[in-house]
Amino acid sequence: MLHFLILLLLVPSALSEFTVILPDSTSPLIDSPQTGFSSHARTDPAEQQAVYQVMAATGNTWAGSIPDVCRGRWHGIECTPDTNDVYHVVSLSFGALSDDTAFPTCDTRAATLHPAILKLTHLRALFFYRCFVYNPQPVPPFLGKLGPALRSLVLRDNGHVGPIPAELGDLTSLKLLDLHGNHLTSSVPGSLSKLTRIRKLDLSNNRLTGGLPDLRSPDLNVLDLSRNFLQGRIRPSLARSVSLIKLDLSRNRLTGPIPDSLNSLENLMLLDLSHNSLSGPLPASLQGLSSLRALILKSNPMGPTRIPSNGLSGLKELSTLVLSNMGLNGPIPECIAELASLRVLHLDGNALNSSIPAGIGKLDKLSELRLENNLLTGMIPLGKEMIWKMGRNLKVDNNTGLCYDVADGVLKGVDSLSTISYCDPETTTPAAARTTQHLSLLIRGGSSQPPSSSSSSSSPSRCIIDHSWFGRVVAWFMICALLLL
C-alpha cells in the first residue's frame, strides 16, 4: 500500500483524487479466490433468499434464476463455507468501479437498499458504487444492525441524501467507512468515535456541517473530510491518531490555528488543510512531520504571517509544498532550499519581499516553481537548464523587482519570463529601460552559479531549530525552586 500511496503522492494532480485500498483480504475490491471450496457445500437458505431480495431491489433480477448463489457466483459476491458445509455470504458489491472490477450495476433510477441485507449475518464487506444516483435516498439507519462481522462499508457516489445515521457508530468492527461523494447534510455523528478500529474514514465531497469528529481509533491511517462545510477548530487531540498517513481537511470552513501538536504525526505523508479560514502563525513545529511528502495549506488567508525561518527544512521527504494565497510576508527563508526532495513549490499570491534564495536553483528535483504575485526582488537564481526543464511550470511574473542575469545564453520562447527584464549589473535591479520591452532575454549558463544579491553561503546548522535553550530554562527553574525550598 505504501508504494501505491507514494506513487500517487508524487503526482500532484492526483493528490485529492485517489482512494486508498486497504490491504485487507475482506476488501470488496480484492477478488480473492474462493477458499475451501467444497462440492457438497450449499448456500444457507435464509441468506440465499436475502441475496435474491437485495439483488432484485437493485434491478438485478437475473440473480433470482441462479439456483445456488454461492456456487454460481458472480463478480461481487463472496462466500465462505462453515464446518457444516454451509456457505455464508461474506461480501456483496455493486457498481462498475473500473474495467477490472465490474460488479453488478444498479438500476440507478429505481434501485433501493433492501433491509433483507440484515439476514446476511456473516457479511464482512458491503460495497455500493453509483447505485441510487437518480433515486436519491438516505443512508438506511438499519445498516447499523449489520453486526460485528462487518469490516468494510462503502456507499460511494451513490446520491445519498439526508444525515449520516448515528447508528453507523454501532458497527464497532468497521475498518473502512467510505461515504464519499454523496449529498449528506448532517454533522458528523459523535457516535463515530465508537469506531475504535477504523483505519480509513472518507466522508469527503458531501455537505456535512458542524465540527470535526473526535475519533479514537489508534489505527486510523486515512482521514478524508475534504469538500464539506465543516466548521470550528482542528482539535489538538487529532494528534492522538498517530497512525495517520493521509489527513485531508481541505475545502471546509475551519478556523483557528494549526495545532502545534500535529507535529507528533510522524507517519503522516499527506497533510492538506487548503481552502479553509485557518489563522496564523504557521507553526515551525510542522517540521516535525518527518514522513511528510506533501504539505498543502494554500488559500487560508492567514493575515500577515511568515514562513518559519527554519524553512520547514526538517521535512526531508517533502516533495510538494503549496503555500499560495495565504498572506505570507517577509522573506523566503534560505533554509527552504534544504528541502532536497522538493518537486513542487508554490509560494504565489503572497507578499514575500526578499530575494529568491540561491539554493532553490540547486534543488535538482524541482519541476514546478510558482512565485508569481509577490514582492520578490533581485536576480532569479536559476540556471538555464532548470528554466528550460520547468517550462510553463515556472511562474515568476508580477513581482516588484525580479530580474535576469545578463550572460551567455539567449532565452527564446520561455513564456514564463516574458515580463522579466535583465538585471542592471551594478544594482541587481531590473534594467529600467527594458522593463516594458520584450527583448530576447539573456541568462547565464546552467553550470555557473549566478551571483545572487543575497549571496549568503547557507550553512545547514542555521536551519535546524535549537531546542537546547528549553532544557536550560527548565534547569534554571528547577535550581531556583530548590533554592526557594
Ligand X SMILES: *[C@@H]1O[C@H](CO)[C@@H](O)[C@H](O)[C@H]1NC(C)=O
The footprint of ligand X (CB under 6 A) covers 329-330, 351, 353, 373-375, 398
Side-chain-side CA neighbours of 251 within 13 Å: the count stands at 12
Nearest approach, Cβ of 332 to ligand X (angstroms)?
A: 11
Nearest approach, Cβ of 382 to ligand X (angstroms)?
A: 20
Specify the residue, 138 or 330, whose C-beta has the smaller distance to ligand X.
330
Distance CA 272, CA 260 (A): 16
Nearest approach, Cβ of 329 to ligand X (angstroms)?
A: 4
Specify the residue, 217 or 373, whose C-beta has the smaller distance to ligand X.
373
Torsion, Cα 399 400 402 406, to 10 degrees, reads 130
Distance CA 137, CA 161 (A): 6
Specify the residue, 58 or 416, whose C-beta has the smaller distance to ligand X.
416
Specify the residue, 181 or 378, whose C-beta has the smaller distance to ligand X.
378
Nearest approach, Cβ of 286 to ligand X (angstroms)?
A: 21
Specify the residue, 285 or 377, whose C-beta has the smaller distance to ligand X.
377
Distance CA 165, CA 229 (A): 18
Specify the residue, 329 or 393, whose C-beta has the smaller distance to ligand X.
329
Q: What is the DSSP string of 80-113?
A: EE-TTSEEEEEEEEESB-SSS-BPPPP-TTT---
Nearest approach, Cβ of 374 to ligand X (angstroms)?
A: 5
Q: Which residue has the cell 467444497?
A: 38
CA angle 228, 230, 234 (to 5 degrees): 125
- Give the single-character DSSP code of 210: S
C-alpha cell recorded at residue 26: 475482506
Distance CA 353, CA 330 (A): 6
Reported in sequence order, the residue ranges of 208-354 that DSSP labels E, i.e. its strands, are 222-224, 231-232, 246-248, 253-257, 270-272, 277-279, 294-296, 305-306, 320-322, 328-330, 344-346, 351-352
N-term to C-term CA, the chain: 57
Specify the residue, 209 or 353, whose C-beta has the smaller distance to ligand X.
353
Nearest approach, Cβ of 400 to ligand X (angstroms)?
A: 8
44 with 72: CB under 8 angstroms?
A: no
334 with 458: CB under 8 angstroms?
A: yes
Nearest approach, Cβ of 401 to ligand X (angstroms)?
A: 10
Specify the residue, 187 or 354, whose C-beta has the smaller distance to ligand X.
354
Distance CA 99, CA 106 (A): 16
Distance CA 348, CA 465 (A): 26
Instruction: Sheet containing 253-257: give its strands across.
Output: 231-232, 253-257, 277-279
Nearest approach, Cβ of 324 to ligand X (angstroms)?
A: 11
Specify the residue, 277 or 353, whose C-beta has the smaller distance to ligand X.
353
Nearest approach, Cβ of 326 to ligand X (angstroms)?
A: 12
User: What is the enclosing helix (H) or strand (E) of 479?
Assistant: helix 468-484
Distance CA 313, CA 333 (A): 10
152 with 26: CB under 8 angstroms?
A: yes
211 with 253: CB under 8 angstroms?
A: no
Nearest approach, Cβ of 295 to ligand X (angstroms)?
A: 22
Specify the residue, 259 or 330, whose C-beta has the smaller distance to ligand X.
330
Specify the residue, 222 or 396, whose C-beta has the smaller distance to ligand X.
396
Nearest approach, Cβ of 372 to ligand X (angstroms)?
A: 7
Rounded to 5 degrees, what are φ and ψ at 398?
A: 55, 60
